[in-house]
């Protein structure tokens, strides 16, 4: 059992220092969990830390899944078998640059529900989650012989609110259901954040990445006695769409860790291994004062985080620098370090097997809902993906501005099948000019959702169109709406005339395809042949933006905005022989798909010192 007294942690009554590394099971293919945990242990840490994302486990309202990729108990037991203690952070909110901070999107469809406070409607939803989750956790607790030594109550609540009754409800809910290990809170190293997020009588910890004595002094002001712990010590940073790949110098990071450990404090390295936001699970930040303001910043697919264990398991320069520091304070595990996983032999796929237009397959991919006005995804039971809206604009009309109010997040607009233009939520006042003839035009609006805000006051982030569409100041009504979660592509009918399409619709230079096809989005299918499965990095040079599937598994988003230039495709997703790659391209198709043996996360820049 992990306990603490006025001076520090005790494990089995013996003074103990936690040196943990964060590794999220939901960001690592389950066939690789043991490999990544072994690498984590080789770093020298004695504990692994992971969140438990509510929305990852609740596949449908009232249906919670703890099997396969979602088998958190298996992950925890693997860690215990390798000699690691486990710290669990079960939410209900986790942040973690994860879609909606781990909350289910359906909460945004509940009229009047207020997030992360003692609102009865929200508390009832949280209680349902704890009713499902806690029975899975109880056998894993140290009091029952398991490796879980501590459980967090909420996450960085002081960065969001001040509802002490809400925090007590969560604490009491865990205890009442049988959680009898050490409970703690985590907040930023600022007095106001600590004041807003702590629970009297429970351990408070802090989040920061540098200047440890100064940050720990804040923690000590708020909690005069007990262990000092950096429950998130940021040794890298995440990447946002369109900005450089963040890196942090290995030597500087190691020096900051040494400074922290020299104080006698405990630490959790965030992230020891970042992994990948597979599928559509990456979240977003928002720097504006209002949801309709510019300042929306989606997170990219890679969660490499410039971590010591790279996205594909490689042991980096930072790994060796941090391991050397940890070895000054804890005995390092014996034995050789794990070798880097094998990589695919590079190849270029110049010829597509076929193409399937998205707008031509709406009825295959979705069911239509008739509504008077556009509705956001959540009100139609959709969590993630794309959503399509169609109406008729009467005519004749001269060129008038077409405007979308409450757009989240990016819309391709078509008039009678011709691309009129693209609108983005970060340009909320932008319009497109639309003229109509005698018969009017069919207006199609295809909206791409890029991840709900996971941090801060703008978390009420509904996707699709939340307010309405106007033409010349007149609201348009009478809509057909088709949710496109894109979870099943089996019904697509590919045009096998790949000779005409190459890698896209307009030929081989990767730039003219979108113009030649009127900018109509389409799926492009390729076949890659491998002698044996191995890690690969898929590049889409010349392509615009969209999604990429491997053998039916959605790897994530691709975008020419960068910084990320390759998507990680782990070995367990490949098979010997033929492998199907499907690219959904929304802007402009390229001429080829490449399999590479090294990642390219884009041009680098040091993360701002303010982030640490």
Q: Is the pLDDT confidence value at 360 over 60?
A: yes
Q: What is the CATH number of the domain that holds 28?
A: 3.20.20.80
Assess whether 150 and 239 both reside in one domain.
yes
**Span 159-183, mean pLDDT?**
98
Assess whether 260 and 299 both reside in one domain.
yes
Query: CA-to-CA distance for 314 and 570, rounded, in angstroms?
Result: 12
Q: What is the CATH number of the domain that holds 546?
A: 2.60.120.260
- Collapsing DSSP to helix, strand or coil, 236 comes out as coil
- From the number of C-beta atoms within 10 Å of its C-beta (0-12, 13-18, 19+), residue 546 rates as buried
- Looking at residue 501, its pLDDT comes to 43
Query: CA-to-CA distance for 508 and 479, rounded, in angstroms?
Result: 37
- Collapsing DSSP to helix, strand or coil, 125 comes out as helix
Assess whether 406 and 305 both reside in one domain.
no
**Span 583-609, mean pLDDT?**
94
Domain contains 331: no
3 is catalytic: no
Both tokens of residue 294? 């510019």
What percentage of the chain exceeds 90 in pLDDT?
A: 93
Domain contains 606: no
- Collapsing DSSP to helix, strand or coil, 108 comes out as helix
Domain contains 158: yes
What percentage of the chain exceeds 70 in pLDDT?
A: 96
- Per the structure, the complete domain to which residue 429 belongs is given by 367-484
Domain contains 142: yes
Q: What is the pLDDT of residues 394-436, one digit of tens each?
A: 999 999 999 999 999 999 999 999 999 999 999 999 999 999 9
Q: What is the pLDDT of residues 205-227, one digit of tens each?
A: 999 999 999 999 999 999 999 99
Q: What is the pTM of this model?
A: 0.95
Both tokens of residue 297? 């910043």
- Looking at residue 253, its pLDDT comes to 98
Assess whether 472 and 555 both reside in one domain.
no
Instruction: Please count the other Cβ atoms lying within 10 Å of the Cβ belonging to residue 80.
Output: 19
Beta partners for residue 593, in sequence order: 349
Residue ending a domain, choose from 484, 511, 546: 484
Domain contains 338: no
Write the CA distances from 345 to 275, 302, 380, 526, 591, integer angstroms.
22, 21, 44, 17, 20
Domain contains 164: yes
Q: What is the pLDDT of residues 299-358, one digit of tens each?
A: 999 999 999 999 999 999 999 999 999 999 999 999 999 999 999 999 999 999 999 999
Query: CA-to-CA distance for 269 and 266, rounded, in angstroms?
Result: 10
Q: What is the pLDDT of residues 1-48, one digit of tens each?
A: 999 999 999 999 999 999 999 999 999 999 999 999 999 999 999 999
Q: How many domains does the chain divide into? A: 3
Query: CA-to-CA distance for 149 and 128, rounded, in angstroms?
Result: 24
Assess whether 508 and 544 both reside in one domain.
yes
Domain contains 334: no
Assess whether 526 and 476 both reside in one domain.
no
Both tokens of residue 544? 């615009």
Q: What is the pLDDT of residues 271-283, one digit of tens each?
A: 999 999 999 999 9
Assess whether 516 and 441 both reside in one domain.
no
Catalytic residue among 97, 125, 136, 156: 156
- Looking at residue 510, its pLDDT comes to 32
Assess whether 107 and 224 both reside in one domain.
yes
| Average pLDDT, rounded, for the chain | 95
Q: What is the pLDDT of residues 452-493, one digit of tens each?
A: 999 999 999 999 999 999 999 999 999 999 999 999 999 999
232 is catalytic: yes
Query: CA-to-CA distance for 37 and 84, rounded, in angstroms?
Result: 9
Assess whether 467 and 546 both reside in one domain.
no
Catalytic residue among 136, 232, 314, 448: 232
With CA atoms as reference, report the closest residue to 139 among 147, 150, 131, 129: 147
Instruction: Quote the strand ranges of 52-110, DSSP E.
Output: 58-60, 63-64, 85-89
- Looking at residue 506, its pLDDT comes to 34
Domain contains 609: no
- Looking at residue 503, its pLDDT comes to 38
Q: Is the pLDDT confidence value at 438 over 70?
A: yes
- Looking at residue 610, its pLDDT comes to 63
Q: What is the Cα 602 distance to its own chain's centre?
A: 18
- From the number of C-beta atoms within 10 Å of its C-beta (0-12, 13-18, 19+), residue 406 rates as middle
Q: Which residue has the tokens 């207020």?
A: 114
Assess whether 478 and 525 both reside in one domain.
no
Assess whether 265 and 190 both reside in one domain.
yes
Phi and psi at residue 284, in whole multiples of 5°? Answer: -160, 160
Assess whether 319 and 397 both reside in one domain.
no
Residue ending a domain, choose from 484, 512, 535: 484
């Amino acid at each position: 059992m992990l306990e603490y007294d006025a001076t520090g942690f005790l494990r089995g009554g013996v003074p103990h220092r936690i040196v943990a590394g964060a590794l999220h099971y939901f960001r690592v293919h389950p066939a690789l969990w043991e490999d990544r945990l072994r690498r984590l242990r080789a770093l020298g840490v004695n504990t692994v830390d992971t969140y438990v994302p509510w929305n990852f486990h609740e596949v449908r309202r009232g249906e919670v899944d703890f099997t396969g990729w979602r088998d958190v108990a298996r992950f925890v037991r693997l860690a215990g078998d390798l000699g690691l203690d486990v710290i669990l952070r079960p939410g209900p909110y986790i942040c973690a640059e994860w879609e909606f901070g781990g909350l289910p999107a359906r909460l945004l469809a509940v009229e009047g529900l207020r997030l992360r406070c003692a609102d009865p409607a929200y508390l009832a939803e949280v209680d349902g989650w704890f009713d499902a989750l806690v029975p899975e956790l109880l056998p894993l607790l140290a009091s029952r012989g398991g490796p879980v030594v501590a459980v967090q109550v909420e996450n960085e609540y002081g960065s969001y609110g001040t509802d002490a009754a809400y925090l007590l409800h969560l604490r009491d809910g865990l205890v009442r259901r049988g959680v009898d290990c050490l409970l703690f809170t985590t907040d930023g190293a600022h007095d106001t954040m600590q004041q807003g997020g702590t629970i009297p009588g429970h351990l408070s910890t802090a989040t920061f990445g540098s200047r440890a004595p100064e940050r720990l002094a804040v923690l000590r002001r708020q909690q005069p006695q007990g262990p000092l712990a950096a429950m998130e010590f940021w040794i890298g940073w995440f990447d946002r769409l369109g900005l450089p790949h963040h890196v942090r110098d290995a030597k500087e990071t190691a020096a900051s860790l040494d400074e922290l450990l020299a104080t006698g404090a405990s630490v959790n390295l965030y992230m020891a291994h970042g992994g990948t936001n597979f599928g559509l699970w990456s979240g977003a930040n928002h720097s504006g004062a209002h949801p309709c303001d510019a300042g929306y910043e989606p997170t990219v697919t890679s969660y490499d985080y410039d971590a010591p264990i790279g996205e594909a398991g490689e042991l980096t320069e930072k790994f060796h620098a941090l391991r050397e520091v940890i070895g000054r304070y804890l005995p390092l595990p014996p034995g050789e370090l794990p070798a880097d996983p094998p990589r695919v032999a590079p190849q270029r796929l110049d010829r597509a097997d076929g193409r399937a237009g998205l707008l031509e397959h709406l009825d295959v991919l979705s069911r239509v809902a008739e509504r008077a006005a556009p509705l956001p995804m959540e009100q139609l039971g959709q969590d993630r993906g794309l959503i399509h809206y169609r109406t008729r604009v009467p005519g004749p009309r001269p060129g008038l501005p077409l405007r979308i109010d409450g757009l989240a997040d990016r819309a391709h607009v078509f008039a009678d099948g011709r691309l009129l233009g693209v609108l983005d939520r970060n340009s909320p006042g932008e319009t497109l000019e639309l003229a109509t003839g005698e018969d009017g035009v069919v207006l199609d609006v295809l909206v791409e959702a890029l991840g709900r805000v996971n941090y801060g006051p703008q978390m009420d982030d509904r996707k699709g169109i939340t307010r309405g569409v106007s033409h010349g100041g007149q609201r348009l009504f009478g809509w057909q709406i088709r949710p496109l979660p894109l979870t099943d592509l089996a019904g697509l009918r590919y045009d096998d005339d790949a000779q005409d399409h190459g890698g896209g619709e307009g030929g081989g230079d990767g730039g003219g395809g979108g113009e030649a096809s009127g900018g109509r989005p389409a799926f492009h299918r390729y076949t890659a042949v491998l002698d044996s499965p191995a890690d690969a990095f898929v590049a889409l040079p010349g392509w615009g933006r969209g999604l990429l599937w491997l053998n039916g598994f959605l790897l994530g988003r691709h975008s020419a905005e960068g910084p990320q230039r390759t998507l990680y495709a782990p070995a367990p997703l490949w098979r010997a022989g033929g492998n199907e790659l499907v690219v959904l391209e929304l802007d402009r198709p390229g001429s080829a798909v490449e399999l590479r043996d090294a990642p390219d996360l884009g041009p680098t820049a040091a993360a701002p010192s303010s982030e640490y």
